[in-house]
Structure 1
């Protein structure tokens, strides 16, 4: 069984993804509009869900941040994630987090840090886990 990724590496991957998306949108805004305004950075709100929904499906469970930290998302069965899996993981869990006024996010972070399997609320909703890359994963890229 693959080693599951803990809180720190998952958090780092998320921070890297946020930086990548924000910088990309900022640079594009600069070249398209000449300056970077707060209004143009609202594109981040449109691009970020697509990035988190589609990229892991296309790229075998990876986002750019996850690739850089050598972790990826898989189903509990060990299979690659699907669009439905990522919909559950990102959209449905986002609704749950919103309905709990953010308390669910805090609980989820503690779950990753405390639970032996390092699974968060969104992992349970989608039937996923985040694991470290293995030699086989590196060879299949």
Structure 2
């Protein structure tokens, strides 16, 4: 059973903060590079690498998650690795795309209602989000 699971609102806050912290600078960079703010291959790659690598390098945190006081960990309490984050982001994202967003809605309810606060992407990757700081 996960220890000190991070609930829906803290996770949402972390995601919104990450969207602002990453999204605004990348939109400005995209505007400078292409004249459009809707992203391009380069800025999309930077965004993907932020969400993939930062939790691996920083004990499960992104900047937004750190501010919100939550981090991603594997079920055994270890920090996530590249493979874990790829499952969480890529495979989880594909499930949400294939289900036309229905999986994302189901995942939000799972995070809000389950005792362990795990969404579909957490189940796929064997992770959970916790309020417990790294050891």
Q: Same fold (TM over 0.5)?
A: yes
Which structure would you say has the larger Rg? 1
- When residues 36 and 92 of structure 1 are mapped into structure 2, their CA distance, relative to the original with a 3 A threshold, is same
Question: What residue is the counterpart of 2:4 in the other structure?
Answer: 3
Does residue 1:62 correspond to 2:61, yes or no? yes
- Taking only aligned residues, the RMSD between alpha carbons, in angstroms, comes to 2.0
- When residues 126 and 108 of structure 1 are mapped into structure 2, their CA distance, relative to the original with a 3 A threshold, is same
Does residue 1:100 correspond to 2:99, yes or no? yes
Question: What residue is the counterpart of 1:23 in the other structure?
Answer: 24
Q: In the TM superposition, what is the alpha-carbon distance from 1:25 to its structure 2 partner?
A: 1.8
1:1-141 paired onto structure 2 within 5 Å: 2-29=3-30, 32=32, 37-39=36-38, 41-42=39-40, 43-134=42-133, 137=134
Tell me the TM-score normalized by structure 1: 0.85
Tell which deviates more after alignment, 115-124 or 43-52. Answer: 43-52
Which residues of structure 1 form unaligned runs of 5+? Answer: none
- When residues 27 and 9 of structure 1 are mapped into structure 2, their CA distance, relative to the original with a 3 A threshold, is same
Structure 1 outlier segments of 4+, above 3 Å: 26-30, 41-44
**Contact 2:3–2:130 at 8 Å: present in 1 too?**
yes
Question: How many residues are matched?
Answer: 133
Q: In the TM superposition, what is the alpha-carbon distance from 1:133 to its structure 2 partner?
A: 3.0
Which residues of structure 2 form unaligned runs of 5+? Answer: none
Q: In the TM superposition, what is the alpha-carbon distance from 1:37 to its structure 2 partner?
A: 3.0
Tell me the TM-score normalized by structure 2: 0.88
Q: In the TM superposition, what is the alpha-carbon distance from 1:8 to its structure 2 partner?
A: 0.4
| Alpha-carbon separation, structure 2, partners of 1:36 and 1:69 | 33
